[in-house]
Amino acid sequence: MVFSSAVFLLIFLPVVLLLYYAAPAWVRNPLLLAASLLFYGWGEPVYILIMLFSTVFDYSNGLMLEWLDRKGRPQARRWVLVLSLVGNLGMLGFFKYTDFLISSVNALTGQAFDLPGIALPIGISFYTFQTLSYTIDVYRREIRAQRNILSFGMYICMFPQLIAGPIVKYRDIQKQIDHRKLDTDSICRGVFRFTIGLGKKVLLANNCGMIWDEIAAQQGVTAVTAWIGAIAYMLQIYFDFSGYSDMAIGIGKMLGFDFLENFDYPYESRSVTEFWRRWHISLGSWFREYLYIPLGGNRKGLPRQLLNLLIVWGLTGLWHGAGWNFVVWGLYFFVLLAAEKLFLLEKLQKAPAAAGHIYTLLAVLVSWVIFACDDMGDAGRFLLSMTGANGFADAASVYYLRENLLLLAAGAVLSVSLVRRFLSRRVNALPDRRARFGVKTAIGGALYLLSLLSVIGSSYNPFLYFRF
């Protein structure tokens, strides 16, 4: 199930909230587990089995690690950790990368092995990383293993962040799993946050996506048109992804959880290094904590640090998708980040702020074109169009500019913290608590209504005898 669907908005969310608030505290975790399994299995019921397997597998591994610890058997503990890593990553690898691997082998060797065409269970990249963080933290003795399998299952399957993050580490919410407070103030903040995320996804991301799809489908576009397309995609991916995180964090708050922030206005960054501290924060911190630092981080000299970065960014690319463009995308960031570490960051800090902003935005814009094009040739051609290989502008550029200027300008303004800072200053300056609340409710209500209408409206699909 996705958040921006009629079933979720009109049935699932209100019914789950109603039951959740009406239920006694001890029923809430099992209830949430059941609701999450329903949510996950909605599109592909058979994948519930994967969820159940993950739950039982990692639950047992956690207990086993602690038991072996009490018995004083470090060697066996290590083997359990390896088993957990192989099991979780093996599942991710099987579902996500089998086709990619075989097609790559075919391309390299000229063979023609059949692709099994394995369908990717949604969210598997996200929850695999959640389960890994749990086992590794138990292994490191940073957390106690969860003894209640229902509570553990609830953590693994929790629907708000299940399919698109943030990647919630067990230790960040372990206290809330068993004891969480529900108060109207934070529930309300959750509702507001959810509506913001819904609006970002439905009103901004989807419309920006249509611009990109249309322009990317055309051959030989001029520079201005290509830039409009690339900027539209840049905004789409930000509003889509951060909108999902907002919705997840918002629903989390409605349920009494505090998830960590996942986006912090990344397009305001002055370097790529900063960008990655503010974009998909939970993924960056996962890789840092469970891969980069264990590999030695920056403690083993510069060459080793660069190698570590290369490994991390190659895998970060691959995590985003099973395709060579994602690998190239990851390595592209490796090059930029390495350059920044070596000399660029120092120079950027001395340069005017604008230079840093422009450099970062350009670097990120180019990265998104690589990200968006499955075919590297397409990415290359599109980037060439952006440099003016097909001319600077034509009538179509004027059309796209006029048609989309308002949306793109709104998107650009809303992707930085300007409006938010301005609004919160003004709203917080209101003397009356009720007035402050009223303004927020009006904004949230309007966003909710418009988004709902847009979700419903997307079903308006005239069946026409065009071409007939």
Partner 1 sequence: MKHFMKQLNPELFCIAVFIAFPLILLAAVLLKPDNAVSVNENRMLTTVRDIPTDVLDGQFQEGLENYLSDQFPFRERLKSAETGVRLRFGQASIGGAYVGRDRRLFQKLPGSDVDSGKCVRYAARVNRMAEQTGIPTYVMYVPSAGIALREEMPFGAPMYDYDALYAALAKELPSAHMIDLLPALYGHSEYYFATDHHWTAEGAAQAYYEWRAAHGAEPDNQDSPTIITVSESFRGTLWSRVPSGLIPAERLKAFEVSGDITVEADGKEISLYDETALATKDKYHFFEGGNHGILTVTNHDVKDGGTLLILKDSFANSFLPCLVGDYARIIMIDERYAFMDIGQFALDSGADEIAVIREIISAG
Asked if 310 interacts with partner 1 (CB under 8 A), we say: no
Amino acid in the structure at residue 278:
R
Which among 139-147, 169-177, 388-396, 408-416 is the span making contact with partner 1, rule CB under 8 A? 388-396
Please report how close the Cβ of residue 210 comes to partner 1 at its closest, in angstroms: 9
Which among 151-159, 238-246, 364-372, 454-462 is the span making contact with partner 1, rule CB under 8 A? 454-462
Looking at the Cβ atoms of 6 and 430, the one nearer to partner 1 is 6
Closest among 91, 387, 70 to 221, alpha carbons compared: 387
d(CA 404, CA 398): 10
Q: Which of 4, 13, 363, 385 binds partner 1 (CB under 8 A)?
A: 13
Q: Which of 112, 181, 350, 468 binds partner 1 (CB under 8 A)?
A: 468
> How big, in percent rounded to 5, are the helix, strand and coil portions of the chain?
75, 0, 25
Closest among 290, 285, 292 to 314, alpha carbons compared: 292
> Of 179, 280, 320, 357, which is the active-site residue?
320
Looking at the Cβ atoms of 138 and 208, the one nearer to partner 1 is 208
Asked if 184 interacts with partner 1 (CB under 8 A), we say: yes
Asked if 446 interacts with partner 1 (CB under 8 A), we say: no
Q: Which of 102, 149, 389, 396 binds partner 1 (CB under 8 A)?
A: 396
Please report how close the Cβ of residue 257 comes to partner 1 at its closest, in angstroms: 16
Asked if 46 interacts with partner 1 (CB under 8 A), we say: yes
Please report how close the Cβ of residue 420 comes to partner 1 at its closest, in angstroms: 20
Q: Which of 9, 124, 234, 386 binds partner 1 (CB under 8 A)?
A: 9
Looking at the Cβ atoms of 47 and 129, the one nearer to partner 1 is 47
Q: Which of 25, 43, 49, 119 binds partner 1 (CB under 8 A)?
A: 43
What is the radius of gyration, based on Cα positions, of the chain?
A: 24
Instruction: Classify burial at 113, counting beta carbons within 10 Å of its beta carbon; exposed 0-12, middle 13-18, buried 19 or more.
Output: exposed
Q: Are 373 and 325 in contact (CB under 8 A)?
A: yes
Block residue for tokens 């469970």: 290
Which among 5-13, 78-86, 164-172, 343-351 is the span making contact with partner 1, rule CB under 8 A? 5-13
CA distances from 336 to 38, 275, 310, 343, 364 (A): 42, 11, 11, 11, 10
CA distances from 338 to 313, 332, 342, 349 (A): 11, 10, 6, 16
Asked if 181 interacts with partner 1 (CB under 8 A), we say: no
Please report how close the Cβ of residue 392 comes to partner 1 at its closest, in angstroms: 14
Torsion of CA 239, 423, 407, 204, to 10 degrees: 30
Which among 349-357, 363-371, 372-380, 401-409 is the span making contact with partner 1, rule CB under 8 A? 401-409
What is the DSSP code (8-state) at residue 268? G
Q: Which of 50, 277, 441, 443 binds partner 1 (CB under 8 A)?
A: 441
Asked if 52 interacts with partner 1 (CB under 8 A), we say: no
Q: Which of 70, 181, 350, 402 binds partner 1 (CB under 8 A)?
A: 402
The helix (H) or strand (E) run that includes residue 122 is none
Asked if 25 interacts with partner 1 (CB under 8 A), we say: no
Q: Which of 185, 354, 431, 432 binds partner 1 (CB under 8 A)?
A: 185
Q: Which of 74, 395, 428, 432 binds partner 1 (CB under 8 A)?
A: 395
User: Residues of 116-140 as b/e, b for ≥16 C-beta within 10 angstroms?
Assistant: eeeebbbbbbbbbbbbbbbbbbbbe
Q: Are 268 and 417 in contact (CB under 8 A)?
A: yes
Asked if 273 interacts with partner 1 (CB under 8 A), we say: no
Sign of the torsion formed by the C-alpha atoms of 388, 391, 392 and 395: negative
Asked if 15 interacts with partner 1 (CB under 8 A), we say: yes
Q: Are 415 and 239 in contact (CB under 8 A)?
A: yes
Task: Spell out the alpha helix ranges (H) of 143-183.
Answer: 149-157, 159-162, 170-178
Known active-site residue 320: yes
Asked if 268 interacts with partner 1 (CB under 8 A), we say: no
Kindly report the three-state secondary structure assignment for every residue of 324-389: HHHHHHHHHHHHHHHHHHHHHHHHHHHCCHHHHHHHHHHHHHHHHHHHHCCCHHHHHHHHHHHCCC
Which among 105-113, 149-157, 381-389, 402-410 is the span making contact with partner 1, rule CB under 8 A? 402-410
Asked if 447 interacts with partner 1 (CB under 8 A), we say: no
Site string for partner 1, 213-242 (x = CB under 8 A): -x--xxx-----------------------
Block residue for tokens 């905004």: 235
Looking at the Cβ atoms of 190 and 284, the one nearer to partner 1 is 190
- Residues within the interface to partner 1 (CB under 8 A): 1, 5-7, 9-11, 13-15, 17-18, 42-46, 184-185, 187-188, 191, 214, 217-219, 394-400, 402-403, 406, 434, 437-438, 441, 448, 452-453, 455-468
Catalytic residue annotation:
320
